[in-house]
Structure 1
Amino acid sequence: MRQIIVFLCFCLLLTQSKSQSSYISDSLAMKMASSDDTVKLDMLLGLSWDLRNTAPEEALSYGQEAMELALKMQDMERYVQAHSYVGTIYRVLGDYNKATDIFFNGLDLARKHQIKEGEGYALINIGNLYIYLEYYTNAIDYLNQAEKIAVDLNNKGMLAYVLLNKGRASLYLKDYEKALEYILQSLDLRIELGNKEAQAVCLKYLGDIYLKKNDSEKAAFYYEQARELCPADSQKDLLGSIYLQLSNVSLGEKNLRKALNHADQALGVGKEINSRMIIRDALKVKSEISLQLNDHKSAAMELSKVIQYNDTLFNQQLSEKISNLEVQYERQKRQIEIDLLNKEQEIRELKLSKNRAIIFGLVLALAIMAVTGSFLIFLMRKVRRQNKTLKSQKLELTRVNTAKDKMFMVIGHDLRGPIGSCKALLELLLEDAELSNNADQIETLNVLIQSAQSVGSLLENLLLWAKNQGGEIAFQPVPLSMNAILDQTVSLHKTLFAQKRIDLRVKFNKEYLVTADHNMLSTIFRNLISNSIKFSHQDGKIEIFDHEVVDNMVVVAVKDNGVGFDEKIMDIIFSQDNFITTIGTKNEIGSGLGLSICKEFVERNGGKIWAESSPGKGSTFYFSLPLAPVKWK
């Protein structure tokens, strides 16, 4: 009972204002002096953790005293915990060298004494420290180890801490979606645990993510929520960061008065806790506000201070990184020495057990030979059965593929003729003088012609694909006029160009003779032009031109200003395994085979095909073909 009363008094004293800090320290000293070691150790640990941000020097003193007392009591669990607290305080003070040493010592102790929770938090602290040092990949490695421990222990508080730091590392690596996923998971756990101070940290980083994603409205929402939950006394560094980010949001929204107010609040907190980074960033925001208010004198003064803080922070960060590298070098050196000693011990043990192993090995070898013989007989019988099954399956697969190819070819042959006739008839109707004054009928005929063209192209590609799968397409490369084949292909699409009022521009600097198969080159042009028409808007523009001649290869480009596509689509549009079908700008249909056929035909003719595109900005498809030998020219 006496210990509980003492501990409650300790908690009550921690909630008093800063003006009473001297009185609190004296009172706590008296309480600890009259308490047994167990209660005193708990109080020292609590003080070191609660004061780590507001009074880090004082917190360090309490943490070091806790380490000494825990070692004296041989309480290894709290000894490891004290390492975690003291290392965190050194990090807050910016002494990353000592923080690294303390954290790794704590990790070694936790593993030596099999304190899994202490090991998990040590790994988190190391990962967090690496984030501060901008070694994000190393940080994630340690955090993944900590996450496994947190899951094994079902420690939701530890898991939330891991996910928060993985989210921070992903944020700095600019993987915003993964960062959002991790931090939302951490927030859910902390809401479940009822830890409002920790929730404020998650909300602040959610604001950071949305600010990076240029969503200032969501960023401001999360920053305001974080500010409401942030305890002003114990998390002043967090509060200063929140004010700073709110000033950046307001500055982006051109609300200069609000931005200046938040920047002044951040500057005040930064000066109070002597955070050079918060002070520098607040001055940077204020200088930008002064520039926008045409107060160049104030802007110059503030920028001068920013430069001074930049120099100080750069030197500090450089020193920290050098110190950290020195610590890692010494640690690796010690580890190598330990590994060498362990190896020598292992060698001695191996020599002692060598003779026993040889005898055991001989006996085991005989047993293995007997078992292996039986197993091989069983395996041979199984392989024979599997081979028989595979042969049967292969015959069935060949039969199914043959039937499929025949079906595609029948469909292509039987439907291509009627569709072509239908298209020709529609074009004749369109030229009829009696219909020239009827806009509705002309529009209907245009739609029907477009549909017939789309279906015809689909059937043509389907037939080509089926023939190609069956190896029935003859390849006969001869010298050809690329210009003439292009003109023929363009004329076949004149109706479709007219329907969308597309501005077609063909720009070839000269006549090109290439060595290629006539049908394949016609198909390449037809599919690329159809594709550009399909994804071009009304009144769009298509350009076909000779891009360059390199290494006796002419490169042709088909460029449009249509809908375009992203990098994910770029990776699979030429795939032989995945056919992508997308509706055109006027609901044109497709099979997804066209570009795949283009790729195969271009490569069979000794060329290459590639594309450049971005959503909303159109696409450019390039393909190269070898020029014909000089004697043909």
Structure 2
Amino acid sequence: MKNKYYIVVIVLACLLSVGLTSNAQDTLQLNKLQKHYEQGSDSVKLSILLKIIRSPELDNIDTALSLSFKALDMATKMRDSLSMAIAMRSVGAYYNILSRNQEALKYDIEALDLIRKHGDGVQESRYLNNIGEDYYNLDLYNEAFDYYSQSLDAARDAGEELAEVIATYNMGRVLRTMGQNKKAKEYILDAMALSEEIGDLPGIAYAKHDLALIYMSENKFDEALSELDEAYVLSDSLSEDILTPQILVKTATAYDHKGDYRNALKNYDKALDLYKSQNNQSGVGESYYGKGNVTLHMGDVIGAKAYYQQCEKIADDIKDNELMISCYNALSELYEQDRNFESALQYYKKYKQLEDSIFSEKKKEQFAQIQIKYETARKDIEIELLNQKEEQQVAKLKNEEFIRNILVVILAFTAVLLFSLYKNNEKRRKINELLIEQQKEIKSKSKELSSLLEMKDKFFSIVSHDLRSPINALVGILDILHEGNLTQQELKDVSLSLKVRLDNTRKLLDTLLDWAMLQMNEIKIQKEDIELNKLVESNLAYFREVGDKKIDFINSVKGEQMVSADRNMLDLIIRNLVSNSIKFTDEGGKVEVTTEFGPKKSLIVLIKDNGIGMSTDQMDKLFDTNTLYTTRGTANEKGTGLGLRLCKEFVERMGGNIWVESVEGKGSTFKFTINRA
């Protein structure tokens, strides 16, 4: 797509010693930026310059180019390669506008080398596209197509769909210019389809404009006008100031070819008004030239001459050589038809001289580029020859080295005999060290085994005592009931006591079974999305119902928080930790469950109480994998230590961590992490 570059005129007038002017409306902004620039560090000044040279406000190309070079100089001194690339790209863009295409190409290639070091695929695609544009302006269409193709590959790799649209469109534009209409149409239609997919409305307008040019080159003016009408409606609604008058000019040209001169002039007039409002003198001249053609086709020679002369004056003022050539040629033919052969000859000479001059300049630029490619290729060949010489030298050195190696082997063989004796002694020493290490490991394993045996003894003690005691109590009560020695009130009191003991026994059995299954690896994790607030509330509701310590249970978990976990494991973890908090909280105390956001995508669940707390030594023993640590609660409740052990195992199996924070006399907070859904 055609790009137009602008520069803010309101900034740094005296500061940068460049002839900028500002209007009254911009005075405040000028003062603000000037103050920032004067007081800022080098990096701040560079940042302001880079912002200015990319700002789409007013067009002053000479100023823009001067500021771009200033930014490049500052970035080079600061060794800021990314800023250097941005400044070089800006220089290349402004040289492109000034038709200094060879210089533009030089800076764009250097900018590409710098941006590639930063690994930015999106920017690389855009820089490749700029180089393609430089080659296109040099009429080196094969090279332009190659760089547009590289730009497309880079855009696809980076997943940058807009850059992909631009590269695809430009490839079609090059093929259209080369006359390969069928292939060009495929690329332009592909670009338009992708633009529709991503909602790139300007891209659709540009694609339709180029499709129309293809149809016009095939003399299919009705199809061309259909595409141009759609392009105009879209471009006008988007306020695409650059494209809209171009569409009007192409529409006028199509009507001129169809012989519909009224519509042709109507569209040229609309384009002329837009170009004048934009102060686009080149567009104004092009519109006058088109009106001259239509007027001539209508048989109005005097009117056509007037339009051509207006076009000539504008082209001469702005030094638009391409437009000047068209005017000279048209006036030459017009004077010839009017049998004013002297004027016809003068304009024909001007036409040929300027055409030859431009052709020569283009060829010089193309030749310079070809020469650069030749020099590069020659250097590559020289490097290849040097590499071959280096390989030969390496081969020669290898032969000499082989002979030396034979001599070395003879000497080394003798040394090996002595060295082998030394190695044998070293092996013996290492074996002894290994035996010592193994003895240490055996001692460590023995200590671990003793801990496991101790845990086994405690486990069987729990089974034999804590399970047998409530069962014996139940049998005794049943015997008394059988004999009829209990009153109704005594039965009620005993039943309540027995219920509590059996409930504790049930919990103990559940814990023992879970622990046993865990040791046998029978528990499989089945994760699902769980609403944490509801799960916590169901556990707290249970404790509120069976609790006899009158503890205040608080659920501070937010209702919308979802976690990814095994429901049964998470339920057991919360139940055990809340039960543990109850155990060490005095009557009338408080237990609260809440959450905090953890690292990455985790959630920290907190079970806080205001109970008796614990010492550092007690905290160290809680999650010890080799022992079962337990103490009695505030109401003389007993425990096994298996509950916290299970919590640790389950939390870690679900990929989390568990720990405790406590202060003696002020309560404890158990924390564990779990993945958010």
| TM tier relative to shorter chain | 0.3 to 0.5
TM-score relative to the length of structure 2: 0.44
TM-score relative to the length of structure 1: 0.46
